[in-house]
Amino acid sequence: MTNRPSINISKLISLVILLCGAFALGNASAQALKYTPINPHFGGSPFNGADLMASAQAQRQYNTPSTSGTSSALQSFASNLDARISAGLSQYISNQLFSASASGGGSGSVMVGSMKVDYTRTDGSAKTVSVTMTDTKTGETQTVSYPLGIFVP
């Protein structure tokens, strides 16, 4: 025979009845939730401002750029002039490649400083435009080809 703990059924039933009565007699009370903003700019407590500022500064992911890298007025002017000349050169090459009245038949070469730009338009079955830029000082070249297909007459 095994020793089993004896269960007193009457005590168990009275415990269950007592717990059910406690739950039934207890008054449940609730209160309406009220939203309270945290940020002082939106009606929150003004004492939260320092904590919010510290949290924002801790999350900052960028550094303030230093002023040592700023360019002078002369460098800025030279950079803008270089960009304008490059844009003018691009417009000239574009006109030579796509204009019906352009001389040279859609190909040619332009030399600007140490940069040589060769451009060619092929009008065969696969219409393409190729532009090769060469730095004459270093010998570095870069070629860009544009398939024109049926988009250009």
pLDDT per residue as tens digits for the range 61-87: 877 666 555 678 888 888 888 889 888
> Within 10 A of 129 (CB to CB), how many other CB atoms are there?
20
- Residue carrying the six token digits 């009245």: 101
Selected residue with higher pLDDT from 23 and 133 = 133
- Full strand arrangement of the beta sheet holding 115-122: 107-112, 115-122, 128-135, 141-147
Helix (H, G, I), strand (E, B) or coil at 115: strand
pLDDT per residue as tens digits for the range 92-139: 888 877 776 655 567 888 888 888 989 888 776 667 888 899 999 998
Q: Is 121 exposed, middle or buried (0-12, 13-18, 19+ CB in 10 A)?
A: buried
| pLDDT tier at 17, thresholds 50, 70, 90 | confident
Q: What is the mean pLDDT of the chain?
A: 79
Domain boundaries, the chain: 93-153
| pLDDT tier at 141, thresholds 50, 70, 90 | very high
